[in-house]
Amino acid sequence: MKNITVVLVGIGGYGVFVTKDLLKDYGHNGVTVAGIVDPFAGVSPCIDRITELNIPVFNNLDDFYDKSSAQLAVLSTPIQFHAAQSIIAMEHGSDVLCEKPIAATLVQAYAMQKVQRQTGTNLSIGYQWSYCQPIAQLKQDILNNKYGKPVHLKTIISWPRNAQYFARSWAGKIKNQDGYVLDSIAMNAAAHYLHNMFFVLGDKPETSAQPQRMKVSVCRANKIENYDTAALDVILKDGVHLQYLATHAAQRNINPSIHYQFEKGYVILDTLSGNDHLIGHFDDGTTVDYGDPQTDITYKVWYAIDICRGKKKPVCTIESALPHLRCINAISQFTPIRLFDERLIGFDGKEQLTYVKGLDDLLLHCYSGNKMPWELEQSAVFAPTEIDMTDYHEFEGVYGQ
């Protein structure tokens, strides 16, 4: 097994899982960690192990590359750093696994794409469902026409997040001193599940479908800059609707549930019923259990390592991740962020949680009935903004700013 040198950039948050996974069988797993880049590495729960292994720690990537090199850079950093760090790593000859989303803006994404092509390095985006076997097998079955043409895909997520979550320096921010962030539930925490609807409908294993039109309503209850609730109806060129309902401002936790309807069957991940497996149902009564797409959250790192070894090809590329970023940028540019009616907002002092009364039930009602919130009477969610995505390829700033 070919040994691969890796630099880990960001070892807090999700980076903790990556670091622990790469160091747990260190010396026997075919990976050498050439360096850690994190100005706050000293507070990481991994720092004792890093010190024990004499792995050098750097404050920034430039310092690392001044003294060392790596075949792969794994970036587990906030959104506003993705573009610059990816470009630095690729210019120094490293393949890159950049945490989702690609970057804050389309201009940044195109800059990353240009450098990737110039350097010939591999740049992968860390939408972990795109790497897991259940989604890979499902996508291949869709490509093989086992389900027929897509009809309607829908996703619901309710992940309550409290004051501590939003207290992070870049959480819920539109912009900070480092530039655009555009952090939101659709851009960050639940971005995987919006991206996945585009991804499974791509015409190749490494491509995604493209949005043509959108109806969007975004709202907030928390005292943040950006939105904590998003309702999207995305229409593809063949008229297929992608329904995305997501919130951080509800009381009830609802893990990602999906229902992908096709001409000859449907696919569900029904966490609402306690089932965490992706199940395909065909019109002839047969079913297929694809497994749990959430099982291994660091599999994408080992996938990127295998790309370096020449054993795998990139699957979640800039090109396949761009439809998600196009939608997010268009929402930010053309859609006002509405404030929920104060009379509907509650606060759980024990959990330090701000929530909208009845929002979880509203979204569940929409999900079960293939409806959007604005189609219901007395909905807490505001009327949508309609956006033509056909020629939308450049973010020109935030709505009203």
Per-residue pLDDT reduced to its tens digit, 292-342: 999 888 999 999 999 999 999 999 999 999 999 999 999 999 999 999 999
The CA dihedral of 296, 275, 158, 376, to the nearest 10 degrees, is 140
Residue 1 has pLDDT above 80, yes or no: no
For residue 380, what pLDDT is reported? 77
Burial of 62 (0-12, 13-18, 19+ CB in 10 A): exposed
Strand partners, 326: none
What does pLDDT average to over the chain? 96
Helix (H) or strand (E) holding 25: none
What's the length of the chain?
Answer: 401
Q: Do β-strands 4-9 and 31-37 pair in parallel, antiparallel, or remain unpaired? A: parallel
pTM: predicted TM-score of the whole model, two decimal places: 0.97
Supply 149's token pair.
């043409």
29, 32, 399: which is closest to 226 by C-alpha?
Answer: 399
Give the architecture (CATH level 2) of 4-128.
3-Layer(aba) Sandwich (3.40)
Q: Do β-strands 265-269 and 254-262 pair in parallel, antiparallel, or remain unpaired? A: antiparallel
Q: Hey, CA dihedral for 142, 146, 151, 153, is it positive or negative? A: negative
User: How remote is the C-alpha of 127 from its chain's centroid?
Assistant: 5
Alpha carbon separation from 162 to 250, 355, 363 (Å, rounded): 10, 9, 19
Give tens-digit pLDDT for 160-202.
999 999 999 999 999 999 999 999 999 999 999 999 999 999 9
Residue 384, preceding peptide bond in cis (omega within 30° of 0): no
Give tens-digit pLDDT for 64-78.
999 999 999 999 999
Supply 337's token pair.
């962020």
- Residue 280's pLDDT band (cuts 50, 70, 90): very high
Is 332 in contact with 174 (CB distance < 8 Å)? yes
Helix (H) or strand (E) holding 32: strand 31-37
Give the architecture (CATH level 2) of 130-293+318-388.
2-Layer Sandwich (3.30)
Is 61 in contact with 89 (CB distance < 8 Å)? yes
Domains 4-128 and 130-293+318-388 share a fold: no
- Residue 382's pLDDT band (cuts 50, 70, 90): confident
Q: Within 10 Å of residue 279's Cβ, how many Cβ atoms?
A: 16
Break the chain into its structural domains and give their ranges.
4-128, 130-293+318-388
